[in-house]
Amino acid sequence: MSAEHDQLSRRLATTTSIAACAQLVCDHLVALGYPLISIYLCRSDRLRCFAASGYSQVLDGFPPVAGVISATVRTGQAHAIDVALSHVYLKAAPSVVAEVCVPIKVAGSSIGALNIESPTPLGPEALRLAGECSDLFARRLVELGGLPTPTGWMYLADQATRVVQIEDPDRLYGAALEIASELSGAESGMVVVGSRTRGFTAVAAQGLLRPQLLALPASSLAEIGAWVDGPLACYTVGSVDGEWFVGFDRLRDAGLGMLVVIALVRGSEQLGFFVVADRRASTPSTELVEQLELLGSLVSSVLTNVRDHETLRDLARRDPLTGLEHNTAFGERLDALRRRAASYAVLAIDVDHFKNVNDTYGHEHGNTVLRTLAQALVAALPAQDLLFRTGGDEFAAVLEAASLQDAMRVAAGLEHAARCVGTPVSIGVAFDEEGGSPDLYVRADEALYRAKRAGRNVTVLAGAHQHSAH
């Protein structure tokens, strides 16, 4: 070991803070003539800058998939790059032409990286010095007990970056229970969604008390929901004596010692609540309750975003006039049935003389006719079959028909339902016995065109002559 590194080793040995040790290493390399030094360590799936020298600003909190530092941590291999030739370089300072980055390893695993950037080319000596300093830092890090596990507010802040990226409600509920358990040390929990007006439903639960929590009746969930409709939290204080709500005695008999209820609310809208439960008797601290309340606010925000996204996605797939799904969903349904390679049928349906309805009675009346017809057709369809609105006065039905006779029977039922509401239709039917046909809708549409030419108010089978007329 060189005299310079020996001095660094001695100074590290008397430094008890990980961040201070990282800064010592950065300052040491600056003293050796390298102008831009930084040390990043992994924490909660993010790379965090623990120390830097020579920069006026640093990049921080990025995932281990972007940049040279990320590549170094991910692969466990040192990198020496010419910035002009690199497609993964992330600019943090002007005039940088070269970068050297080495992994910081503990027990063979990369937990971070030491990085050197320079406005002049860097040779093998920079790579060697960085590697030696990285080893000295890693050794001292182990002596200090390694990176501390984030707790409390720091843990919650780290998890927030993960939670806000969740787009699936079930994953969100699981993450909420996991984080609440880590913050509180409680072994059990439950997430309940709903409101006092809509009712409450338990959607997720975990831990030893899971069966008892899920067994709580709707009346108990409503009672609990009322407690936190306004206040953000309600919890036991040292004892679980008394009767909180219907079914509480079963929780107590199962060993309940502590219960915390946290509201899920966005603005003035109640979204539900989550429960933290443990068999140890304790009173949660004010700080813990505040942390759980912040978690509740975070989950509520993400839940609202997920719900709004689902609403927008549904609106994009659904016709606002009739409530039926339209062309996008229709195409997806056809694709799904083609992949199954099972028999199915497509019915192309068109309202007869609909232009005359609009011209005579006006478009508002025409809209009423379409809504009424759509309801009648849906009611006449078998449960497994779907109706779509594919145009102004055009509909399509996709049938999981086992035979041509089944398909024609359904078509006859739709004709009858349309006549019953005073809106006759023409129908084209195409049937695929083996599945996989790519042009079934085209064939059904051609059959519909023939039905129109045949005088309307008829059903025509693709590839056949007129099937029925009225």
Which pLDDT tens digit goes with each residue over 300-358? 999 999 888 877 777 778 888 999 998 888 988 888 888 887 789 999 999 999 999 98
Tell me which residue of 214, 46, 6, 32 sits closest to 125, measured CA to CA. 32
Q: Which segment of 5-9, 11-15, 84-88, 368-372 scores lowest on mean pLDDT?
A: 84-88
Structure tokens at 62: 């990025």
**Burial of 261 from C-beta contacts in 10 A (0-12 / 13-18 / 19+):** buried
**Across all residues in the chain, what is the average pLDDT?**
89
- pLDDT score of 411: 94
Is domain 327-469 in CATH 3.30.70.270, yes or no? yes
Distances (CA, A) of 144 to 50, 140, 141, 148, 412: 15, 6, 5, 9, 80
CATH 3.30.450.40 range(s) for the chain read 3-143, 153-314
363 vs 148: which has the higher pLDDT: 363
Q: Provide the b/e sequence for 20-38 (b: ≥16 CB within 10 Å).
A: ebbbbbbbbbeebebbbbb
Tell me which residue of 250, 269, 272, 270 sits closest to 259, measured CA to CA. 250
* Domain covering 153-314: architecture: 2-Layer Sandwich (3.30)
Q: What is the mean pLDDT of residues 93-112?
A: 90
Q: What is the mean pLDDT of residues 104-116?
A: 94
Q: How far, in Å, CA of 139 to CA of 5, rounded?
A: 13
- pLDDT score of 464: 47
* Segment 31-53, tens digit of pLDDT: 999 999 999 998 877 889 999 99
pTM: 0.65
- Tell whether the model's pLDDT for residue 468 goes beyond 60: no
* Segment 377-387, tens digit of pLDDT: 999 999 889 99
Tell me which residue of 199, 201, 83, 182 sits closest to 190, measured CA to CA. 201
Q: Which segment of 42-46, 74-78, 198-202, 354-358 scores lowest on mean pLDDT?
A: 42-46
Q: What is the mean pLDDT of residues 349-374?
A: 93
Q: Which segment of 15-19, 368-372, 442-446, 459-463 scores lowest on mean pLDDT?
A: 459-463
Three-state SS sequence of the chain: CCHHHHHHHHHHHCCCCHHHHHHHHHHHHHHCCCCEEEEEEEECCEEEEEEEECCCCCCCCECCCCHHHHHHHHHCCCEEEEHHHCCCCCCCCCCCCEEEEEEEEECCEEEEEEEEEECCCCCHHHHHHHHHHHHHHHHHHHHCCCCCCCCHHHHHHHHHHHHCCCCCHHHHHHHHHHHHHHHHCCCEEEEEEEECCCEEEEEEEECCCHHHHHCCCHHHHHHHHHHCCCCCEEECCCCCCCCCCCCHHHHHHCCCCEEEEEEEEECCEEEEEEEEEECCCCCCCHHHHHHHHHHHHHHHHHHHHHHHHHHHHHHHHECCCCCCECHHHHHHHHHHHHHHCCCEEEEEEEECCHHHHHHHHCHHHHHHHHHHHHHHHHHHCCCCCEEEECCCCEEEEEECCCCHHHHHHHHHHHHHHHHHCCCCEEEEEEEECCCCCCCHHHHHHHHHHHHHHCCCCEEEECCCCEEEEC
Superfamily of domain 3-143: GAF domain (3.30.450.40)
- pLDDT score of 469: 43
Question: Residue holding tokens 């941590």?
Answer: 73
Confidence category of residue 470, pLDDT binned at 50, 70, 90: very low
- pLDDT score of 386: 93
Q: What is the mean pLDDT of residues 207-212?
A: 94
- pLDDT score of 4: 67
- Pseudo-torsion of CA 86, 92, 97, 100, nearest 10°? -70
- pLDDT score of 342: 78
CATH 3.30.70.270 range(s) for the chain read 327-469
Q: What is the mean pLDDT of residues 427-447?
A: 86
- pLDDT score of 94: 74
- Tell whether the model's pLDDT for residue 360 goes beyond 70: yes
- pLDDT score of 288: 95
- pLDDT score of 465: 42
* Segment 263-302, tens digit of pLDDT: 999 988 999 999 999 999 889 999 999 999 999 999 999 9
Structure tokens at 14: 């008397």
